[in-house]
Structures are given as C-alpha cells and as structure tokens.
C-alpha cells in the first residue's frame, strides 16, 4: 500500500473542509504490518471559534510531507503550545509508552475527518460523512494487515465494530473509580479485534484508575 493510494481514497468533496486525516507521518501508514490502528471520533477545536486549522486536504499534504517520522501526539503544536504540553498528548504518550508502541510508526486518524468543537455539535450529517471516510480506514486496515483497532470514543467504537463485523463481546472492564466508565473488547469472525476505550480529552490516562494500558495489553492481538 502506498501513500498515493491512501490519498486517493479520501473523496474530493472533503478536501476543502476544515479537518484532519493522518495523525502520523508516512512511516505510520506504510509499514507492511502495523500492530494497531488508533482512531478517535473526529478532530476537535471548532473552526468557528477562530482557530486557524488545516483543511482535510492540507492535513494530508502537511503531515505526509514531513521529512522525518512524525506524530501529532508527540510532535504537534496544539493550540500554540509546544509539543507534549497538551494534556491529551501527555496521556497518549503515557499509554503508548507503556505499551511499547512508537506513536510515530503506527497509523492514527479519526473515524470522521471534518472538525467540530464537540462530538454532539456536528454541523454535518455524521452518517453521510462516515460513508465518505470509511474507504480510507478500510484501505488502512486491509493494506497494513491490522489485527487490533483501538477506538477512543464509545460512539466511534460502536460504528467501527459495525463496519468490521466485530459483534462478539470478549470482555467489558470498568475504570477503578466512582465514575466506572467502561472499556470493551470485541472480535470479528476473522479474529480482528476492536478495543473501545475512553477518550484522552476527557479521561486522564496517566492516573492509575483510568489508565487503559492493562486492558489493551490483555486484549490486543499479539504483544509488541
């Protein structure tokens, strides 16, 4: 699979919309076999609030145009902050560091590419946009022989499980606190697993009661 092939899987009608596709550079999307594919629901920070964001097409050019391995979670300057100073970046670095997975060398994206301030305030039809975005994810999963998809959002997890036919519930874990938000492990008939976890924008993964690392290690296919 090539970057050119993946680029062509993003429909032209999405390219000029504020949003983001790849959260890792070319190295994350061109390995013969990737240990996991990481997905959120959609990019945050509403463009109507004055933030100067890339369009979906520009995100493909900028991130995949990097001359060295890159991860938005490790190297991105979010909201004008230095790399790794945003709480979500620190939480991602904590968990994937414990997993022993280099965030610069795995594919990472969002189920939906257009940006919105909050998931409940879409200015577009998420069902329609999902149809447009899914060919990209399908190409990543099959092209990189993905066996575990980690989805950091309950609603996105439901949608990804439906798309991949991951209907068999393997396990449900809860956070070790009074909130008791859940993690889910599902498996498709072909053995591919979808792990649905909390989102690092709202859950502090660096705190032991809410850290999803042990859950991921227990249910991801293989250990890396």
pLDDT for 73: 96
Q: Does residue 96 lie within any of the structural domains? A: yes
pLDDT for 50: 43
CA distance 105 to 117: 28
For residue 24, what are the β-bridge partners? 71
CA distance 6 to 137: 9
pLDDT digits (tens, 9 = 90+) for 93-113: 999 999 999 999 999 999 999
pLDDT for 44: 76
- pTM beyond 0.85: yes
What is the domain range of residue 140?
A: 3-219
Q: Does residue 125 lie within any of the structural domains? A: yes
Q: Does residue 205 lie within any of the structural domains? A: yes
User: Which CATH number goes with the domain that contains 69?
Assistant: 3.40.470.10
Low-confidence ranges of the chain (pLDDT < 70): 45-52, 117-123, 223-224
pLDDT for 49: 44
Q: Number of structural domains, the chain? A: 1
CA distance 154 to 194: 11
pLDDT for 117: 60
For residue 148, what are the β-bridge partners? 193
pLDDT for 103: 96
Helix axis angle for 154-164 and 126-143, nearest 10°, is 60
pLDDT digits (tens, 9 = 90+) for 26-59: 999 997 778 899 999 999 765 454 445 789 999 9
Q: Name all contacts of 170-173 with Cβ < 8 Å and 24+ positions apart.
A: 170/219, 171/218, 171/219, 173/215
Q: Does residue 201 lie within any of the structural domains? A: yes
Q: Does residue 63 lie within any of the structural domains? A: yes
Give the C-alpha distances (Å, rounded to integers) separating 196 from 101, 103, 155, 219: 18, 18, 9, 11
Q: Does residue 224 lie within any of the structural domains? A: no
Residue with tokens 């990209």: 136
pLDDT for 120: 45
């Amino acid at each position: 699979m090539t970057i050119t092939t993946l680029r062509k899987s993003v429909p032209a009608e999405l390219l000029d919309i504020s949003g983001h596709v790849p959260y890792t550079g070319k190295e994350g999307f061109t390995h013969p076999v990737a240990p996991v594919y990481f997905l959120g629901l959609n990019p945050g920070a509403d463009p109507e609030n004055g933030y100067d964001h890339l369009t979906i097409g520009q995100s493909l050019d900028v991130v995949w145009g990097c001359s060295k391995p890159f991860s938005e979670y490790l190297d991105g300057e979010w909201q004008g902050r230095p790399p790794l100073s945003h709480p979500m970046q620190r939480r991602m670095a904590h968990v994937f560091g414990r997993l022993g997975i280099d965030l610069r060398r795995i594919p990472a994206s969002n189920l939906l590419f257009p940006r919105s301030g909050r998931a409940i305030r879409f200015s577009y039809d998420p069902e329609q946009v999902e149809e447009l975005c899914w060919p990209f994810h399908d190409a990543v999963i099959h092209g990189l022989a993905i066996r575990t998809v980690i989805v950091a959002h309950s609603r996105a997890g439901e949608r990804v499980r439906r798309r991949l036919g991951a209907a068999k519930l393997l396990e449900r874990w809860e956070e070790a606190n009074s909130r008791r938000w859940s993690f889910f492990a599902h498996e498709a008939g072909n053995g591919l697993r979808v792990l649905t976890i909390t989102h690092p924008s709202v859950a502090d993964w660096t705190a032991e009661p809410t850290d999803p690392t042990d859950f991921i290690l227990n249910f991801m296919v293989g250990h890396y």
